[in-house]
Amino acid sequence: MEVVIQPTVEKAVELAARLIAARVRTKPDLVLGLATGRTMEGVYDCLVSIQRSDGLDFSRCRTFNLDEYIGIPGEDEHSYRYYMNHHLFSRVNIDWANTHVPDGMAADLQMEAARYEHLIREAGTKEPQIDASFSEAIRIAREQKSVSLAKRAEATYAEYRRQKAIVLGDQGFRLPL
């Protein structure tokens, strides 16, 4: 893994989007693991801009999101499915059948987790996961500009562990990879 430090959040977002776009161009059937959250919106906005200006083709890409709320339908504006539809999928030329988000309305969540994990395995991917590590790096860069990279990494890992503990609680739903 290579760590590339950018002078601003905007530059980091642009670089991430350019790297993803380059990979989509070289591998049109790319499988991406996507994250949700405010910090990812900039990356998704940049990808939309690249598609519109340069004709980036997402039509053969497949995506997997790893989280969804339990008991909230995908059409609900608070769901991760809705978030992804709104911030990326409806704005690029991706086949919606190739966009995957766990079903938070499944009657049997264990079976849904197994089904979803099977889908991911079927995709046979070793592709990069655009995940919380990038989101957290941006968030921490915003909040702790004067802290060393090592301290930021420690803070990111601590926050990841905290969030994972919350998610894995009695009401949590997290799909293992």
Q: Where are the domains of the chain?
A: 9-167
Please answer whether residues 15 and 4 qualify as being in contact, where contact means their C-beta atoms are separated by less than 8 angstroms.
yes
CATH number 3.30.460.10 is the correct assignment for the domain at 9-167: no
Q: What is the 3-state secondary structure (H, E, C) of the chain?
A: CCCCCCCCHHHHHHHHHHHHHHHHHHCCCCEEEECCCHHHHHHHHHHHHHHHHHCCCCCCCEEEECCCCCCCCCCCCCCHHHHHHHHCHHHCCCCHHHEECCCCCCCCHHHHHHHHHHHHHHHCCCCCECCHHHHHHHHHHHHCCCCCHHHHHHHHHHHHHHHHHHHCCCCCCCCCC
**Amino acid 131: pLDDT:** 46
φ/ψ (deg, to 5) at 100: -120, 130
Q: What is the mean pLDDT of residues 121-148?
A: 54
Q: Is the pLDDT of residue 150 over 70?
A: no
**Hey, what are 74's tokens?**
């995908």
CA distance 13 to 51: 15
What is the mean pLDDT of the segment spanning 67-87?
A: 93
**Mind listing the pLDDT tens digit for each residue in 103-118?**
989 998 888 888 888 8
Report residue 174's pLDDT band, with 50, 70 and 90 as the boundaries: very low
> Where does the pLDDT of residue 132 fall: very low under 50, low under 70, confident under 90, or very high at 90 and above?
very low
- pLDDT for 158: 61
Question: What per-residue confidence (pLDDT) applies to 125?
Answer: 62
Average pLDDT over residues 85-111: 94
Q: Which two structure tokens, joined as six digits, stand for 125?
A: 């991917």
